[in-house]
């Protein structure tokens, strides 16, 4: 009953005019960001954090969440019209969506994408509402050892699943943890790796790293692309912006399956929307009576993956809100935003700030309705964004990054650091070191080290504490498996053909 009251109160928070406005602003920015190729949800949330500084935390977080799930809607537009996913998770949509557009069915592809996204997004939030409290109640029983092993599992899973090379994922994770060790150690008061620079005593700002590695690095890549002259022309929206009865019949199943698959994958650390849409696409192809149509404009190839990558966002909010453990790059930036607003995500959030957490969750229902309106009747207006020259857009993003970073602390050192991390992000992309594990470990490092040291202090320095309870032992085992599997699977695949 208490939870029901909190949900109702949260609905009141979400329906406040100011929060309705910020939900709208968030989903509008999300749609725009999703449509513009190159700038992903992580970069846009990071750039918005400074702007939301003076706001009420609930309003600021509602707006940033709107950006997060809004990008998933917008991402399909570019995938369908220019075969370039606006954000990574729309990559599967670009296969059949673009083929539908070439056959004069761009309107239908955009319509099923928006409808599928709406159904999946809403179902995802319903599941988030149902799962959140039981999971948060379980997490309340966690001690420092359980928390440390949980975060260890999140990091190892993300390191293993990000990018092509698990070793590079691990390297990225460790680099993030190393950056987090810079500054004054909170438990002993000793300076670590500050090199005598006063600005480093409080550590390297999270915003500095995220804006540099996501926003600035993406701009560098984009400008390089313009310089080398590799851009795709945009297709015009053709055909009615609606679907036929037959297309709806073919899309219903993929949308339902995609919604369930996306939500479950979203909960797992490291998997993310790209894997969800990939799995949905391959499942639909396998289940289809006409698999040969896939890749040539099958509507199931748009409906399923779009549903999967949208319900994934609600799934990803489950571990973030209930455990305080993000499962990927964008949710890590969201967690950074929570912390910068003085709100610590985790099980206590549901006890201490039910108005905020339920206001945020309920705003997602409203945001999904707004997104359906923005992405169906108004899509023609947003498509015009594709005609903004990138040569104007990318320089503006650099200026926004500089202004946003400087406005927080007024520090020139932080501007140089943003540039440093921008170049580092650009180099990481060139040598294929994934960035999300670094950001995730940077966000988790503080709590992780604290839990590690608290657990060892409580056990008089005995490391057995990390395997003494069933939960922590299981998590340690799962961490070891998630690290070992990516190395073992290729070996097993090599052995199998030899036996055959």
Partner 1 sequence: MKSDKLIVLATLVLAALYWFATEQINEPLIGDPIGPKAIPRLLIIGLVIAAALLWLETLASRKTRAAAMAADNPQPVRRPFFILALLGGTLAYFFLFSWLGYAIATALYLYALMAIFNPGETWANALTSIGFSFGSYLAFTRLFGAQIPAGLLPF
Decide: is 481 part of the binding site for partner 1 (CB under 8 A): no
CB of 26 to partner 1, least distance (A): 18
Q: Which stretch binds partner 1 (CB under 8 A): 106-114, 251-259, 317-325, 449-457?
A: 449-457
Q: 418 CB contacts (<8 Å, ≥6 apart)?
A: 208, 211, 212, 216, 401, 402, 405
Q: Are 296 and 99 in contact (CB under 8 A)?
A: yes
CB of 489 to partner 1, least distance (A): 12
In a 10 Å sphere around its CB, with 0-12 CB exposed, 13-18 middle and 19+ buried, how is residue 489 labelled? exposed
CA distances from 323 to 78, 90, 452 (A): 34, 27, 17
Tracing tokens 């899309």 back to the chain, one arrives at: 251
CB of 182 to partner 1, least distance (A): 10
- Tokens representing residue 21 in the block: 């406005």
Tracing tokens 């409906």 back to the chain, one arrives at: 303
* Contact set for partner 1, span 148-177 (CB under 8 A): 165-168, 170-171, 174, 177
Decide: is 463 part of the binding site for partner 1 (CB under 8 A): no
Q: 348 CB contacts (<8 Å, ≥6 apart)?
A: 140
Q: Which stretch binds partner 1 (CB under 8 A): 28-36, 50-58, 337-345, 357-365?
A: 50-58
Binding mask 355-394 for partner 1 (x = CB under 8 A): ----------------------------------xxxx-x
Binding mask 295-334 for partner 1 (x = CB under 8 A): ----------------------------------------
What angle (nearest 5°) sits at the alpha carbon of residue 376, between those of residues 357 and 68?
A: 30
For residue 184, list its beta bridge partners: 191
Q: Which is nearer to partner 1, 150 or 400 (CB)?
A: 400
Q: Which is nearer to partner 1, 227 or 286 (CB)?
A: 227
Q: Which stretch binds partner 1 (CB under 8 A): 270-278, 292-300, 395-403, 470-478?
A: 395-403
Q: What φ, ψ does residue 183 adopt, rounded to 5°?
A: 125, -170
- Tokens representing residue 182 in the block: 């810079």
Q: Which is nearer to partner 1, 137 or 231 (CB)?
A: 231
Total residues binding partner 1 (CB under 8 A): 62
First-residue to last-residue Cα distance in the chain: 60
CB of 447 to partner 1, least distance (A): 13
Tracing tokens 């309106």 back to the chain, one arrives at: 373
Q: Which helix (H) or strand (E) holds 192?
A: strand 191-192
- Tokens representing residue 207 in the block: 């915003």
Which residues of the chain form contacts with partner 1 (CB under 8 A)?
51, 53-54, 165-168, 170-171, 174, 177-178, 181, 185, 187-193, 220, 223-224, 226-228, 389-392, 394-396, 398-400, 402-403, 406-407, 410, 412, 415-416, 419, 423, 426, 429-433, 449, 452-453, 456-457, 460-461, 487, 490
């Amino acid at each position: 009953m208490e939870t029901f009251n909190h949900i109702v109160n949260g609905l009141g928070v979400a329906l406040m005019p100011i929060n309705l406005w910020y939900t709208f602003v968030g989903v509008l920015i999300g749609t725009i960001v999703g449509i513009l190729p190159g700038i992903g949800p992580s970069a846009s949330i990071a750039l918005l954090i400074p702007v939301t500084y003076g706001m009420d935390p609930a309003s600021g977080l509602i707006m940033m969440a709107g950006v997060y799930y809004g990008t998933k809607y917008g991402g399909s537009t570019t995938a369908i019209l220019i075969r370039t996913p606006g954000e990574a998770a729309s990559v599967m949509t670009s296969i059949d969506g673009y083929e539908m557009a070439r056959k004069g069915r761009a309107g239908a592809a955009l319509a099923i994408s928006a409808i599928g996204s709406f159904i999946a997004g809403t179902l995802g939030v319903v599941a988030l509402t149902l799962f959140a409290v039981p999971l948060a109640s379980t997490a309340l029983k966690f001690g420092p050892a359980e928390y440390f092993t949980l975060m260890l599992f999140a990091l190892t899973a993300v390191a293993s699943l990000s990018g092509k090379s698990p070793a590079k994922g691990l390297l990225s994770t460790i680099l993030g943890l190393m950056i987090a060790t810079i500054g004054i150690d909170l438990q002993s008061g000793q300076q670590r790796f500050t090199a005598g620079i006063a600005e480093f005593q409080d550590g390297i700002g999270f915003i500095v790293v995220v804006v540099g590695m996501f926003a600035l690095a993406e701009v560098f890549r984009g400008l390089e692309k313009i310089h080398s002259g590799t851009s795709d022309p945009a297709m015009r929206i053709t055909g009615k912006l609606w679907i036929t009865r037959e297309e709806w019949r073919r899309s219903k199943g993929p949308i339902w399956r995609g919604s369930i698959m996306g939500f479950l994958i979203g909960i797992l650390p490291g998997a993310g929307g790209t894997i969800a849409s990939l799995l949905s696409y391959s499942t639909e192809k396998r289940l289809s009576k006409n698999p040969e149509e896939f890749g040539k404009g099958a509507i199931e190839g748009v409906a399923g993956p779009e549903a999967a990558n949208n319900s994934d966002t609600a799934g990803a909010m489950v571990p973030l809100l209930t455990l305080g453990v993000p499962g990927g790059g964008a949710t890590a930036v969201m967690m950074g935003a929570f912390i910068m607003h003085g709100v610590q995500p985790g099980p206590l959030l549901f006890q201490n700030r039910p108005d905020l957490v339920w206001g945020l969750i309920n705003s997602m229902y409203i945001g999904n309705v707004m997104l359906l309106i923005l992405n169906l009747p108004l899509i023609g207006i947003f498509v015009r964004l594709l005609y903004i020259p990138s040569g104007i857009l990318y320089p503006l993003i650099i200026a926004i990054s500089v202004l946003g970073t400087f406005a927080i602390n007024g520090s020139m050192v932080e501007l140089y650091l943003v540039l440093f991390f921008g170049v580092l992000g650009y180099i990481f992309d060139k040598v294929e070191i994934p960035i999300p594990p670094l950001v995730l470990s940077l966000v988790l490092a503080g709590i992780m080290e604290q839990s590690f040291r608290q657990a060892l202090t409580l056990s008089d320095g005995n490391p057995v504490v990390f395997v003494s309870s069933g939960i922590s032992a299981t998590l340690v085992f799962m961490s070891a498996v998630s690290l070992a599997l990516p190395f073992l699977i290729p070996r097993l695949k090599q052995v199998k053909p030899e036996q055959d």
